[in-house]
Each structure stands twice: as structure tokens, then as C-alpha cells.
Amino acid sequence: MRTSALLFALLLSASVAFAQHNGPTGQRQADKAEDQFEKGVPPPIHQQSSVDFAKLKGDADELMVLSQSIHSGIGDVEKGMLPKDLTEKLKQLEKLSKRLRNELAP
């Protein structure tokens, strides 16, 4: 009885070790297919977009001025006064930041 249990444990551990070493056949075939596919795919071509850096700098400067004026406008809101151009400045700030983001990270 003891030898049969020992033999069973030995066979079980050997089969587990064999299965882990080789892995599933389907997985090996999938890995090979993926490697072949990756070899056949050409590297992406990075096109250099024509970015007008002077315009971007101007937009960034305008964004800075707008943010400073909004900051002082928020100070007025704390005092209970809402500057009437604050919402327009916030909209302009949003448009500028979106345009800058799209230009820098298309």
C-alpha cells in the first residue's frame, strides 16, 4: 500500500513537472504565430507634423495671461462679486488649452 502511494505521488509529480515544462500545445502554437506576425509588421512611420512653434508660444502666453486674470476674478467672487467677463475668459482658456493639447499630442 505504501509503495503504491509513493508510486502514485511520483507519477503525479512527474506529470505536473512535464506539463509545466512543455506547456499547452495550443499556447506554444499561438506564441509562434504571434512571433511570426510581429516579424512581418513594419515599424510605424512617424510623420513630422509641421507645428508652428511661434503660434504655440503665443497661445501659451495668452493662456498664462488669461489664467492670471481668472485668478484675480476668483478673488472678486470670494468677495461676493461675479465679474461679467469671467465665464467668457474661462471658455477662451478652455479653447486655448484644447488647441495646445491637440497640437502638441495629436
Q: How far apart are the first and last CA of the chain?
A: 72
Give me the domain span that covers residue 76: 53-104
Q: How far apart are CA 64 and CA 62, in angstroms?
A: 5
Cβ–Cβ < 8 Å for 50, 44:
no
Give the pLDDT mean for 8-13. Answer: 69
Domain count, the chain: 1
Average pLDDT of every residue of the chain: 79
Helix axis angle, 86-104 relative to 53-78, nearest 10°? 150
Residue-wise pLDDT tens digits, 37-89:
777 767 666 655 677 889 989 999 999 999 999 888 888 888 888 888 989 99
Does any domain span residue 17? no
Does any domain span residue 21? no
Cβ–Cβ < 8 Å for 89, 70:
yes
In this prediction, residue 22 carries a pLDDT of: 54
Does any domain span residue 20? no
pTM for the whole structure: 0.49
